[in-house]
Amino acid sequence: MNILTTASKYIPAGIHVVRTTYADGNTCLRAISEEGEPYGVLSVNIPESPVHEDFVWLKTWSENEGVLEALIESNLVEKLPVTHPCGYANARLVKLTLK
């Protein structure tokens, strides 16, 4: 089980992190409670810039502030030096190291 061991600004430690897919098949990263209740979506879908299933565009703004750092410290992702415009912000490409 992939557990966020370090809290971010709005997501507490102990939340489970799971890999799913968006409707178009792109990889999605979700946070769920221990009971399986949805807690939030950590990624963002950018259909015009698909990536391999072991990578995901991470949403690092608004309610996901601090998520990148928490995921890195929890050994669930590796930060890559790639961003992509997403509305008024930039999504960060990460490599998934979770199981």
* Domain spans, the chain: 16-96
Reduce the DSSP state of residue 16 to 3 states and report it: strand
Query: CA–CA separation, 26 vs 46, rounded Å?
Result: 8
Task: Please state the pTM of the whole predicted model.
Answer: 0.93
DSSP codes of every residue in 24-65 = TS-EEEEEE-TTS-EEEE-B---TTS---TTEEEEP-SGGGT
Model confidence over 72-99: pLDDT tens digits?
Answer: 999 999 999 999 999 999 999 999 999 7
Model confidence over 32-67: pLDDT tens digits?
Answer: 999 999 999 999 999 999 899 999 999 999 999 999
